[in-house]
Chain A
Amino acid sequence: ETGVTQTPRHLVMGMTNKKSLKCEQHLGHNAMYWYKQSAKKPLELMFVYNFKEQTENNSVPSRFSPECPNSSHLFLHLHTLQPEDSALYLCASSQNTGLDEKLFFGSGTQLSVL
């Protein structure tokens, strides 16, 4: 099984709901990432954390709120989402944030916003 575990695998929520996505990595990595994957589009980097500190926020709307309590866990808190936010949300980790770091992805959470 992958070293990066994401829960839940599927999530359906209304626009007024609040939910959270969880990611856990068992690889001893120092960096964690959130990516958004929409059909037929490139993966979009959302947030990067390195040693629990946020190092990248790629102009993500405030209705997405990340949290990284330690180097092994990463959350994405969701509130008042829009239908266009429906996508596969992927968590990834890497040893560090160097140029040629290998990313290890989880299987993602398929989010549907109604």
Chain B
Amino acid sequence: QQQVKQSPQSLIVQKGGISIINCAYENTAFDYFPWYQQFPGKGPALLIAIRPDVSEKKEGRFTISFNKSAKQFSLHIMDSQPGDSATYFCAASTDYKLSFGAGTTVTVRA
């Protein structure tokens, strides 16, 4: 069974807009929530990560919001740029074994 559910499957945003990707989980033992970014023909690369003792983490234009009570977390991409066009995966883990979401393909139109 899928331990992390990710939505939407794809989204299109205009340059300068905000992209929002949502993830939900059931396992309350999850203790680490990273986001990975994957460009075509490349492997995923760590973008940003959060621990559940923090409700928000920001790195540049990328922000993770975390809602422990709702068991949900989301990625916000502010001022989206064409170079942000990629597939984004959320993940969660209790140890080194990550459970990934199915991915969201983001297309930023110039």
Contacts and interface: CB of A to CB of B under 8 A. Distances in A.
Interface of A: 2, 4, 31, 40-43, 45, 48, 56, 90, 92, 94, 96-108
Interface of B: 2, 4, 9, 31-32, 34, 36, 41-46, 49, 51, 89, 93-103
Given A2-B43, A42-B2, A92-B43, A99 B32 contact: yes
Nearest to B42: A107
B93 A42 contact: no
Contacts of B89: 42-43
Q: Is the interface of B mostly helix, strand, loop or mixed?
A: loop
A45 B43 contact: no
Given A43-B100, A97-B95, A104-B45, 8 more contacts: A40-B9, A42-B89, A42-B103, A48-B96, A97-B96, A100-B49, A103-B98, A105-B43
A9 B97 CA distance: 25
Contacts of B94: 99
A99 B97 contact: no
B41 A107 contact: yes
Contacts of A48: 96-97
Contacts of B45: 104-105
Interface centre among B36, B42, B98 (most CB of A within 10 A): B98
B42 A101 contact: no
Contacts of B2: 42
Contact of A98 (B44, B96, B103): B96
Interface centre among B31, B51, B97 (most CB of A within 10 A): B97
Contacts of A4: 43
A57 B93 CA distance: 17
Contacts of A97: 95-96
A103 B95 CA distance: 13
A101 B96 CA distance: 7
B87 to A, nearest CB: 10
B44 to A, nearest CB: 5
Contacts of B99: 42
